[in-house]
Structure 1
């Protein structure tokens, strides 16, 4: 999930190169709607999102409503301060810093899939 269409497009291309099908959404509201009906194997979520809830808020919503989904959750952000924050550390989730390369993306996805 990312509110930047260009980042979603990059993720889509990278996931296709890895042979992974994905549902891409650009808002927390759409993500909640999706996870209420589906059980994704992995969630990739930007920290800073437009709207009332950011990536951390979505993560905590999942902890309460779909706790099984937080086991395979990756944060992405261009904000190095947010990625190194205590809030980020408390999630125990891996992260990717924007901009990221295909190799970095692949490594993070594979490590999370094997976790």
Structure 2
């Protein structure tokens, strides 16, 4: 029995082991995965490949996940794409700031496979 693909997810993280872990969870969940090692690469890939959901880390060199989120939500081609922030920044103020930047969900690391799949299902339209 083959899995039906449930959509394409862009994962943005400068930590390759995190990127690999999230990719693994999502592929097991039936999603197509695109990886970007940093926000600048993500901005290019999001316009080229039009993912259904974006998962981004916050702390990255060059441009933070918060700034990436803000840019995507103010661009007409990407403003409707749901964004899940996935960060080790676990303070309530970080979560509130992430939501203020336009994030649709905020997960803190470490997370389980179930938590990440649930977050995606919650934001996917």
Paired residues in the alignment total 113
| Between structures 1 and 2, the one with greater helix share | 1
Q: Distance in 2 between matches of 1:94 and 1:83?
A: 14
* Unpaired runs of at least 5, structure 2: 1-11
* Unpaired runs of at least 5, structure 1: none
Q: Distance in 1 between matches of 2:61 and 2:92?
A: 16
RMSD, aligned α-carbons: 1.9
Secondary structure of the corresponding residue to residue 50 of structure 2? coil
**2:66 paired with 1:56:** yes
Partner of residue 98, structure 1 = 109
> What's the TM-score, normalizing by structure 1?
0.86
Q: Relative to 1, partners in 2 of residues 1:11 and 1:107: Cα closer, same or farther, differing over 3 Å?
A: same
| Between structures 1 and 2, the one with greater strand share | 2
> What's the TM-score, normalizing by structure 2?
0.79
Q: Distance in 2 between matches of 1:62 and 1:110?
A: 20
